[in-house]
Structure 1
Amino acid sequence: MGYALSLLDKSPIQDGETASTALKRTIELARLAEQWGFHRFWVAEHHDTPALASSSPEVLIAFLLANTTRIRVGSGGVMLQHYSPYKVAENFNLLAALGPDRVDLGVGKAPGGLPYSTRALQGVIPRSEKQDFAAQLAQLGAFLAKGLPESDPLAGVRATPLPTVAAHRFLLGASVDSAELAAAQGWDFVFASHLNGDETVLQQTLDAYRKKAPDRSPLLAVGIVAAETDAEAERLVGNIQHFKVHVENGQSVTVGSVEQAEEYARQAGATNYRIEKKTPNVLRGSAHTVTDQLERLHSRYGIGEFIIDTPINDAAKRLRSIELLAQAQFAAAA
């Protein structure tokens, strides 16, 4: 088998349980992922979301490093627009010092929440005074590397501690623009096909990245639901809903319900908006069926690593889905 598998976890909170229970499940899943042979274990960032416990990936990564020994651990991803690049660099330099050569920094451009949580995170800084995302990414990369250029007013400031091996850097995106930005600034790139399943866009994006970064290999994030049978997997996927809310003169976002979409529009102060029901882009079926689909993507697009998101609401069935996939990966490798 010519590709690696990694996991993305959002610490979902089941009905009637606490965040502590959900986080304990994340820790146990990371241990199992290491035991089963997954390459990386990433945690997401979501704000003001009662059904998810993963609001601060940096804190969770530290705990996961302490509870595993070999698997790479990282963010999928830090929502950079909300933060000082310097502070993000400090956080991940510290994590990289705690877990030498095991830490990944995945950065995303999405808000990770609704407009009010974005306002709470970013404070009262006028939008006109904020750096754009490309400038933030460049500054973050500089702080993680040799520091800012001498012409910068902050030249000489270092993001300490300085780890022996820096965090591995990834930009998460689903467009040609994101891929070209990653290539131009020397970041590895993850195409989020679980958010944008258009294979024409996928091909264009991968081509653009490889043209500008021929020595780097893009990763592919995919939604996967594996079950004992194809029919059971189809039933599980039938319970998944995605809705994209398009706001006039604003950022389009994907949420999990019509109510969330309407709340996004309300918080954004939008009177002109459109809610679009999206068909979930999920590879589904028995483990054999899913591995065949992964093999197709590997062969057609030259993907060497998949980041797996498993959007099943039932905790036991979600764990079983990941276990079935691991068993199929092991059997194929053997």
Structure 2
Amino acid sequence: MALKFGILDQSIVFPGQTPAEALANTVKLAQFAEANGFERFWVSEHHDSPLMAGASPEVLIAHLLARTEKIKIGSGGVMLQHYSAYKVAENFNVLASLSPGRVELGIGRAPGGLPRSTKALQKGVSEPESLGEKLTELDQLLTGSFGVDHPLAGLQANPVPEQPADVYLLGTSVSSAELAAERAYPYAFALFINNDPDAAQAAFRAYREKFDRSKGREPKTLLALTVIAADTNEEAEELAGHMKSVRVTLASGKTVNVGTLEQAEEFARQAGETFTAEVREADITRGTIDVVRKRLLELRDLYDADELIFTTVVPDFEKRLRSFQLLKEAFQEEELIV
């Protein structure tokens, strides 16, 4: 079976760029992905950060659908905890009606920003709901209406499309994997955020063991990871730089992943809690075609991943494109990518 690839783009505003230039590069990258046989292209959601231009994935998805023809376009992901399931369903039902069969709704569980952005996004919410409750509502509204036992019985998120958006759950833990299994959603583990191999293996194992096949679906796993391919190993090492992964644990027990200790301190300050932080070298698959292909196949086999989805944090856009071009060439040689 051919190994399917996707791209997750974070619309990063690199030094010397404007947000408009970052978003224009996201469009170019989506068109490149389509032209080069990638399966899907996802965009992320980040708030209150001048370094990220993608604050509204549904808006960006609409534009990308209009600028491409066939490739699947989705969110990686929409942070459902902040929003009404009804409004999210309306947004994605419109998108799925405009581009049937091409829309994917990835749901994330992280805040997507610092505590003050979470406070602003959830300001005025009078009836807090759990993520599980929101997912139940979302499932109903993507395909029809609330049932008779719901306080808003009969409510629809019009237009109800013939081919609703496919829902994916994104996560970095066993708990997210178990939730995906319970709902019979495809599950994407973000190894580029939590690069603990034991955590990833435990999550995938829990997902497969607890997957609810009674819903008529089969497990589907995606491994999301950072990859940098270059013409030489030396160039790949230079492009990779010294990226870090910082896992913050607040006094309340809440955990979040950030990129720097400064971000960890700011997160804890806004949360009003003490914290501990674990700093790791970012896990970046990097090197020439041969080096990258070998490691990606090892990771696929280690986690038994059905698909891979890549993020490539390289400021030079042409070198970022070159990295994805080399990935395509690497797997064409193995006849693993369609």
TM range (shorter): over 0.9
Q: Which moved more, 1:35-44 or 1:283-292?
A: 283-292
Matches within 5 A, 1:1-334: 2-125=2-125, 129-213=127-211, 215-270=218-273, 272-333=274-335
Which ranges of structure 2 fall in alignment gaps of 5 or more residues? none
Change (3 A) 1:243 1:300: closer
The count of residues paired between Structure 1 and Structure 2 equals 331
How far residue 200 of structure 1 moved from its aligned partner, in angstroms, is 2.1
Displacement of 1:250 = 4.8
Cα distance in 2, alignment partners of residues 18 and 250 from structure 1: 37
Counterpart contact for 2:193–2:245, Cα < 8 Å: no
- 5+ residue gaps, structure 1, are none
Between 1:26-35 and 1:175-184, the stretch displaced more is 175-184
Q: Deviations over 1:275-324 (max 9, x none)?
A: 32122122121122111112122233332211111122333322221221
Q: Secondary structure at the match of 2:249?
A: strand
Query: Once the two structures are aligned, what percentage of the paired residues are identical?
Result: 46
Higher deviation after alignment, 147-156 or 3-12: 147-156
In 1, are the aligned partners of 2:230 and 2:326 still within 8 Å (CA)? Answer: yes
Mapped to 1, the partners of 2:277 and 2:199 lie a distance apart of 22
What one-letter code is carried by the residue in structure 2 that aligns with 1:249?
A: S
1:124 shift after superposition: 3.5
CA distance in 2, matches of 1:273, 1:161: 45
Q: Contact between 1:3 and 1:303, CA under 8 Å: does it hold in 2?
A: no
Distance 1:299 1:243, change over 3 A: closer
Q: Distance in 2 between matches of 1:221 and 1:290?
A: 15
TM-score by length of 2: 0.93
Q: Offset at 1:147?
A: 2.8
Partners of 1:278 and 1:63 in 2: how far apart? Answer: 36
The whole-number CA distance in structure 2 between the counterparts of 1:199 and 1:155 is: 44
TM-score normalised to structure 1 length: 0.94
Confirm or deny: 8 A CA contact 2:178 2:210 kept in the other structure. yes
C-alpha separation in 2, matches of 1:60 and 1:218? 25
- Cα separation, 2, equivalents of 1:157 and 1:238: 51
Q: Which moved more, 1:14-23 or 1:26-35?
A: 14-23
Corresponding letter in the other structure for 1:229? T
Contact (CA 8 Å) 2:177, 2:207: kept in 1 or not? yes
1: CA distance between counterparts of 2:156 and 2:121?
24
Distance 1:198 1:239, change over 3 A: closer
Residue 191 of structure 1 aligns to a residue whose secondary structure is strand
Deviations 1:75-114 (A, max 9, x none): 0000111100110001001000111100000000000000
Q: How far apart in 2 are the matches of 1:174 and 1:302? A: 16
Which stretch shifts more, 174-183 or 45-54? 174-183
2:234 is matched by which residue type in structure 1?
A: A
Q: Distance in 2 between matches of 1:146 and 1:174?
A: 31
Contact 2:144 2:160 survives alignment (8 Å): no
RMSD of aligned Cα (Å): 1.6
Structure 1 counterpart SS, 2:201? helix
2:245 and 2:302 mapped to 1: Cα distance? 27
Rounded to whole Å, the distance in 1 between the matches of 2:261 and 2:272 is: 17
Cα distance between partner residues in 2 of 1:254 and 1:298: 23
Q: Deviations over 1:54-91 (max 9, x none)?
A: 00000000000000001000000001111001100010
Q: Secondary structure at the match of 1:76?
A: strand
For residues 229-250 of structure 1, what are the alpha-carbon distances to aligned partners after superposition, in whole Å with 9 as ceiling and x for unaligned?
Answer: 2232223223322222221105
